[in-house]
Structure 1
Amino acid sequence: MADFHQNGVVATLHNLRERSLDRMEKELAVFSQEKPITLILPSLYSELEAPALDHIVQELSQVPYLAEIVIGLDQADERQFQHAKHYFSRLPQKHTIIWHDGPRMRGIDDKLKAEDLSPDQPGKGRNVWFCMGYVLGSGRQGVVALHDCDIVTYSRDMLARLVYPVANPRFPYVFSKGYYPRIAERSLNGRVTRLLVTPLLLSLEKVIGNHAYIDYLKAFRYPLAGEFAMQGQILSDIRIPSDWGLEIGVLSELWRNQSSRKVCQVDIADSYDHKHQPLSPEDAAKGLSRMSIDITKALYRKLATDGVVFSQDTFRTLKATYYRTALDLVEIYHHDARMNGLTTDRHREEQAVELFAANLIDAGNVYLENPNATPFMPSWSRVQSALPDLLRDMQQAVRLDAEDTPAATG
């Protein structure tokens, strides 16, 4: 059964299981008349070939309150784009596919490159950034939600609970972040949150002292959750990180731009599972190894902007503090799992901690070598200032792609 604990930093909205999905969706249908609700789905083409997205689309086809679904499609050639149009055609809601690899969207990117505004890395962050620009250009940005396309345990009440806090006009929130337990196959998952982010925040607090930003991040039960929703008016000023630091970066932007009283986290699922990344200890450019470095760099850079001074000595002390803290948590997670009839692999958990500890130093070295790096993509406010017609051009490019490329029927 859910608790009702509040941390005092950001509001936590629990699932006390006292109201039906039907009732919540009816309310959302009313709210959406004043604030249209748009869902962004950043997707690789390969996800269209997996069962998770097929189930997500089936669930979404039953959602009555969505004004539009915007699908950002990456790594697709023309034939695959045609197939994607057929694949998503079963959605009864208005839906739009942004073909990022098509010639028209590449032309949009060329205009951005000419002004040194183009995202410099492929990936989810770039996909989401372009989708946000498209939604801004459409003028239908009442409430905008986002979730991944690889959620194996998806159900449409996850979306309803995610958007409700920012769609309800009687609530003060401009941003809601989903949270849930990561459980699958009788095992605890979520290694990067459990074994990197949580002990790292605790260790940073020990090394640099109390800091309001660290307290803010610690308040989130699952800071790396890819599910969030926001009021559309804040889209234009958010700077999206271009690497694996997307989720931490978005929370940092909310910290910079909004009062924490306007930010909430909401319980959206009893269990959650999605595609698992490999640990990849042999290649720091892949898997959870790269993710851990990108997340750690994002934390260092954000704290530096708040006046924290880092050095090699700081990072060495932080590594030692993190290592002991993380190993203590491995023990606690093992007890928690056993109490609930679940398992953890102690050997693999400690391997992950060893890798993450080494990566704290690697991330620190990258930061010290280039402390002035700007890992964020520009805000859409800046893009509109430099290229006033770009959002209109993007709308036209997406519309022409939809009209000129017939949907594949097979």
Structure 2
Amino acid sequence: MEYVQERIATLHDFAAVADADDESGYRTGTADSDLVPDTAIVVPMTERELGNPAAERVLDELERLEPAPAAVFVPLRCGRDGIEPFREWLASFSLPTQLLWCNAPAADRALERAGIGDEFGKGRDVWLALGPAAEAGDYVLVHDADARSYEAEHVHRLLTPLELEFSFSKGYYARIEENRLYGRLFRLFYRPLVRALADEHDAPILNYLAAFRYALAGEFATTSTLARRLRTPPAWGLEVGTLGDAYDYAGFEGTAQVDLGRHVHDHRAVAGESGLEKMSREVGAELLRVLEAGGVEPEYETLPDRYRAAGRRLLDQYRADAQFNRLEYDLESERAQLDRYAESIAPPGSDRRLPRWTDTTIDPETVLETTQPWVEARPGTSASAQD
């Protein structure tokens, strides 16, 4: 256990360093946050989460929050036949849940009228929920539904920095499962890429991105003001894009990261359309876009080689850490992943981000109307929103 601070405030879990009744009077754990009733929670899902044990645990834990949050938004991407089973499943939990069918035909048409692109993915789904969530609460908390180790206490921990007048709070945790290190996309792609760039450039945005102990974690909390200013990429890259906006709005002084212990997640394959290799392309593009916007001009011709060199140095460190903790470590597999991810490094191309909620012509009420076709028409609902 350590207590080292980064360039951003780092809030540790010191529960392991002392017993609750030791002579110092130290008490473990974090205080319940008074912000929970003012908070809207966003939990993006797909059809695979229906009845999934990890998603069940997340919802069970959210039921334990006292008092209850202002709302729990579940932006869902699924086929038409999957909506009713999902509604019935969510209704079995005692939560103020609002299900948003993100690919509902009426929602797609409303976004098209607003001039918003037709790219789909997790980022777009979360963006759709951010507008209504920022209306429902003074604070917005976002997290995934695939952590089999999720606890209601994570909500309190993520909100505590906001109670201390930070504007943005990011979770971090250890990914140690099956007696080995996971968190591969962060360890083997994000971290060495940032390190390679920092070796050549001295820029505040690089120092900011390097300060996060798990920059690709899906868990964060923010004020509703900042939530309305997030320009999320439509697919993967959501987490990095969020950090770029947090840097612009909150900066070092307004940002904190919070220890959420150890997370046990579902795993992805490296190859394939939903694999880490494809994710690395989108994460890399968004990371490099954020850096270019922050004044960094990467030397793209040499960057893949410099990334590999930084990655190999990190592999030696990971191997030593694994051996020290008697964990399994497959050096050849990790080297092979480095080489595959290196092919993802390229100029980011055009900016594909969705607009800030403060800038778009679509409004949160329209999102609710078009993503909830099963709800009776609300007062003032337009015909075009319900068609």
* Distance in 2 of aligned mates of 1:114 and 1:32: 35
Q: CA deviation at 1:402?
A: 4.1
TM-score normalized with structure 2 length: 0.89
SS in structure 1 of the partner of residue 44 of structure 2: strand
SS in structure 1 of the partner of residue 48 of structure 2: helix
SS in structure 2 of the partner of residue 158 of structure 1: helix
Q: CA deviation at 1:19?
A: 4.3
Of 73, 77, 99 in structure 2, the residue corresponding to residue 70 of structure 1 is: 73
* Distance in 2 of aligned mates of 1:140 and 1:246: 22
* Distance in 1 of aligned mates of 2:5 and 2:112: 45
Question: Match for residue 276 of structure 2?
Answer: 288
Relative distance call for 1:31 and 1:322 in structure 2 (3 A) is closer
SS in structure 2 of the partner of residue 180 of structure 1: strand
The percentage of counterpart residues that share the same residue type is 28
* Distance in 2 of aligned mates of 1:177 and 1:31: 16
Amino acid of the structure 2 residue aligned with 1:94: P
Of 340, 350, 353 in structure 2, the residue corresponding to residue 376 of structure 1 is: 353
Q: CA deviation at 1:134?
A: 2.0
* Distance in 2 of aligned mates of 1:91 and 1:69: 11
Question: Match for residue 154 of structure 1?
Answer: 150
5 Å-filtered alignment, 1:198-209, equals: 198-207=191-200, 209=201
SS in structure 2 of the partner of residue 298 of structure 1: helix
* Distance in 1 of aligned mates of 2:373 and 2:340: 47
Question: Match for residue 22 of structure 2?
Answer: none
5 Å-filtered alignment, 1:160-199, equals: 160-166=156-162, 168=163, 171-199=164-192
SS in structure 1 of the partner of residue 100 of structure 2: strand
Q: CA deviation at 1:288?
A: 1.0
Cα deviations by residue, 1:362-397 (Å, 9 ceiling, x for unpaired): x23xx3xx4xx11211111111xx34xx32223334
Amino acid of the structure 2 residue aligned with 1:329: L
5 Å-filtered alignment, 1:180-329, equals: 180-207=173-200, 209-269=201-261, 271-280=262-271, 285-310=273-298, 314-329=299-314
Amino acid of the structure 2 residue aligned with 1:145: L
Question: Match for residue 19 of structure 2?
Answer: none
* Distance in 2 of aligned mates of 1:267 and 1:391: 32
Of 24, 43, 46 in structure 1, the residue corresponding to residue 31 of structure 2 is: 24
Select between 248-257 and 43-52 the one with higher mean Cα deviation. Answer: 43-52
SS in structure 2 of the partner of residue 117 of structure 1: coil
SS in structure 1 of the partner of residue 333 of structure 2: helix
Question: Match for residue 114 of structure 1?
Answer: 113
The Cα RMSD (Å) is 2.0
Question: Match for residue 407 of structure 1?
Answer: none
Select between 171-180 and 294-303 the one with higher mean Cα deviation. Answer: 294-303
8 Å contact from structure 1 (residues 40, 144) kept in 2: yes
Q: CA deviation at 1:151?
A: 0.8
* Distance in 2 of aligned mates of 1:231 and 1:309: 31
8 Å contact from structure 1 (residues 76, 99) kept in 2: no
* Distance in 2 of aligned mates of 1:117 and 1:214: 30
Of 325, 333, 337 in structure 1, the residue corresponding to residue 322 of structure 2 is: 337
Q: CA deviation at 1:184?
A: 0.6
Q: Extract unaligned runs of 5+ from structure 1.
A: 405-410
TM-score normalized with structure 1 length: 0.84
Aligned residues: 366
* Distance in 1 of aligned mates of 2:27 and 2:159: 16
Q: Extract unaligned runs of 5+ from structure 2.
A: 16-25, 378-387
Question: Match for residue 44 of structure 1?
Answer: 46
Amino acid of the structure 1 residue aligned with 2:310: T
Question: Match for residue 132 of structure 1?
Answer: 130
* Distance in 1 of aligned mates of 2:178 and 2:375: 40
* Distance in 2 of aligned mates of 1:181 and 1:109: 38
